Amino acid sequence: MTKSHIAIMTSGGDVPGLNAAIRAAVRAASFYQYKIIGIEKGYEGLIDEAFLPLHSGSVSNIISKGGTILQSSRSERFKEEKFRQIAYQNLKKHNIEHLILIGGDGSMRGAQVLAKESGINVIGIPKTIDNDITGTDFSIGFDTATNIAMEAIDRIRDTATSHHRLFFVEVMGRNAGYIALEAGIATGAEGIIIPETNRDLQLLYDTIEQKKNWKNSSYIVVVAEGDEIGGAYRLEKTIQQKYPNIYTGVSILGHIQRGGSPTCRDRNLATKLGIASIEAVNSELKNVMAGVIHENIQYTPLENIGSRKLKIDDNIIKNLKILSK
């Protein structure tokens, strides 16, 4: 009996590690003797029938590359049923019964709708630098983005020290503070402002009061872009009004966190999840996302996938107070 075909695509924002996941999935498909087809530009390519056959040679030497060889997009058209029907007909035309989707929680929601309407089996692979998707402890791209932020903050510390200045460094993360918290602790930041708690601004005030004599030669505050304060520039203005004698600066790291070669951890995570996605197909699992929980592969139904919030407990707040001394 001829095996049905598998398609693979990346959807939403790019992150480091996408190519490692594609490579692993393609080679696993070859191992299990499936024909695999790449879909370019995410859901847009699904609608426009931007399909290309993939094989082991297609993914040689891409494990270290940033971005995605399949390209990606955010599709407004896919929200309309008529375009989803076109997408389904394109999959049917190529004898595709299984779709490997590498995306975040928004892309997974789109996949749920496609699976329900068409009967296509969708296997998800989580990717987002925000690390805010349920069903996995870590998503592809988070470790690299955090390391990029850490390195950038270390460099900014040199400038802050040279000029005796307080720097506000804004990192990405949408409405989640994972990058800010991890990078802030790793760089010894004197302040970390994240959307999951409203106690961090008072903690920052307390720290500044303790160091009013400004014996420190530098001062770094890491700000998550989604914090309710409104970002690094607004926070700088607030601090300037309260402490006019402190010299300040702002650095917005932005999309630099999403590019470049993935870290060892992200490459290995992407490889593990890429293989797991094909093994889900081979095991006849339906409409699940492959994740890693407590270092083990686990499959979660797509209907249970959504966004998650960083849990801030009193121990984290206590540790930040200890480190700010």
Residues annotated as catalytic are 130
Three-state SS at 36:
strand
> Which residue in 309, 310, 311, 306 sits closest to 135, CA to CA?
306
> Encoding tokens for residue 282?
């081979």
Question: Residues 288-306, buried b or exposed e (16+ Cβ, 10 A)?
Answer: bbbbbeeeebebbebeebe
Give the C-alpha separation, 117 to 126, whole Å.
22
Q: How far apart are CA 49 and CA 43, in angstroms?
A: 10
Dist. CA 220–CA 246, nearest whole Å: 13
What single string gives the DSSP state of each residue in 124-146?
EEEB-TT--BTT-S--BTHHHHH
CA 89/CA 178 separation, integer angstroms: 39
3-class SS of residue 220: strand
End-to-end CA distance of the chain: 68
Residue 300, both tokens = 């979660």
105/144 Cα distance (integer angstroms): 19
- Given a contact cutoff of 8 angstroms between Cβ atoms, the answer to whether 184 and 235 are in contact is no
Report the C-alpha gap between 69 and 65 in whole angstroms.
9
